[in-house]
Amino acid sequence: MAKPLPVSPLARPLPDLATIAGVRLSAVAAGIRYQGRTDLMLAEFVPGTVAAGVYTKNACPGAPVLWCRSALTTPYARALLVNAGNANVFTGRAGMQACEDCADATAQLLDCPPQDVFLASTGVIGEKLPQDRIIAALPAAKAGLSEDGWANAACAIMTTDTFPKAARRDVTIGGTPVRIQGIAKGSGMVAPDMATMLAYVATDARLPQDVLQSLLASGCAQSFNSITVDSDTSTSDMLMIFATGQADNPEIDDVSDPALAEFTLALNDLLLELALMVVRDGEGATKLVRIAVTGAESNFSAHRIALCIANSPLVKTAIAGEDANWGRVVMAVGKSGEPADRDRLSVAIGGTWIAKDGGVVENYDEAPVVAHMKGQEIEIAVDLGLGDGQARVWTCDLTHGYIDINGSYRS
């Protein structure tokens, strides 16, 4: 961008970040696209660290996504290298060669196999990744590795983000204290499968890969796959978790082990916090919107309807204009393709039911709804009256700022 973007009015400050035993991070300026800022993040993990990941379902994924999918065939990770400014997408054989070159160079520095190096790129699509700049910056990145490098790492992976995103939880597994900490980036091109961003979580817990993978997939469904900014699923989506095993908690071999219950709740909560920060930083966003759908024929149907509401430009622009135009919500329900009955449909905004069973509530007072629409956090509820299906989805409003940012993204 030619000039810095104003910080989102929905921004959240970085929390008090701590260290994760077995993890060191650094951030350096490689000059990949941006000038005068860090744009390359390196994380080093202690030998024996186990990794799991969830990646985009976009049919045109970036080379780093393909690399990581292949690398996950073995459970271990020694490094994570992430650059901002260039997505290394739609770059053909050159893109895969860039991944091989970066992984080889990182592996040589850290004395590990290349398949233990995970890669990610975010930024402009269709431009060859200048891997020589990345490789030239690796010695400085290694020299700068620090256990408390989390905040700098969160800044280095930003593109159109206006604030860095991180979250932390301290819990126990079988009485042993463990810590979970993560960073994320994301602002635009955000929609499920799996919602567009990069997110990296580390824990000192000792967990096998199959358990980690199950935890991550389940947590993603409730968080990153339940947010949308603009309905566009990125080519570079990636959510990974790294478990260093340094906490020496009791052995866990099943995701349903009662000793894992507190950890599971904390991980899900951390993932949702990171996901909502992505929505809070939606390009041009001024309002965070929560859409709750109940009474659908199934949870799947409820989720589809909630996303249809959340992705409607008419709903999102009405929210931006603080217009309690509930008719647009009805429209979005009806166009979803999911079962709905006009005469059973009910709609509420800010806790006030506007329409019930297919008609406007008698003596409906719009004043509290108008007041609610002026706030920064908007609640929309829909009950279809058909069954027990329910879902929650989060989105943001659609303002002219979205056009301003994306209309000049490459300039």
Domains, the chain, ordered by start: 23-281 (3.60.70.12), 288-407 (3.10.20.340)
The string of pLDDT tens digits covering residues 20-52 is 999 999 999 999 999 999 999 999 999 999 999
State the catalytic residue, choosing from 196, 235, 294, 399: 196
Tell me the pLDDT of the chain averaged across its residues: 94
Residues 6+ apart with CB under 8 A from 339: 296, 297, 301, 384, 386
Say which residue the tokens 């935890």 belong to. Answer: 215
pLDDT value for 1: 43
Place of tokens 């989102």: 8
Q: How far is CA 346 from CA 229, 236, 289, 298, 363, in A?
A: 25, 38, 18, 17, 15
Question: From CA 50, how far away is CA 28, in angstroms rounded?
Answer: 25
Radius of gyration over every alpha carbon of the chain, rounded to an integer in angstroms: 22
Q: Mind listing the pLDDT tens digit for each residue in 358-397? A: 899 999 999 999 999 999 999 999 999 999 999 999 999 9
**β-strand 176-185 against 377-383: which pairing, if any?**
unpaired
For the chain, percent of residues with pLDDT exceeding 70: 96
Across the range 104-111, mean pLDDT stands at 98
DSSP string, 297-315: SSHHHHHHHHHHHHH-HHH
Pairing of strands 389-396, 288-296: antiparallel
**pLDDT number for residue 403:** 79
Which DSSP helix (H) or strand (E) runs through 182? Answer: strand 176-185
CA 281 – CA 278 distance, rounded (Å): 5
- pTM > 0.75: yes
Q: What is the 3-state secondary structure (H, E, C) of 365-394?
A: CCHHHHHHHCCCEEEEEEECCCCCEEEEEE
The strand ranges marked E within 29-152 are: 40-45, 50-55, 79-86, 117-124
Which stretches of 111-234 are DSSP H helices?
131-143, 150-156, 209-222
Is the pLDDT assigned to residue 17 strictly greater than 80?
Answer: yes
Which is nearest to 185 in space by CA: 213, 215, 224, 219?
Answer: 224
Is 196 known to be catalytic?
yes
- Position 2 pLDDT exceeds 60: no
13 vs 275: CA distance, rounded Å: 15
What local confidence, expressed as pLDDT, does residue 411 receive?
Answer: 56
Q: What is the pLDDT of residues 304-352, one digit of tens each?
A: 999 999 999 999 999 999 999 999 999 999 999 999 999 999 999 999 9
Average pLDDT over residues 141-164: 96
User: Which range among 172-186, 190-204, 248-262, 267-281 shows the weakest confidence by mean pLDDT?
Assistant: 190-204
Read off the DSSP letter of residue 148: T
DSSP letter (8 states) at residue 97: H
DSSP 227: B
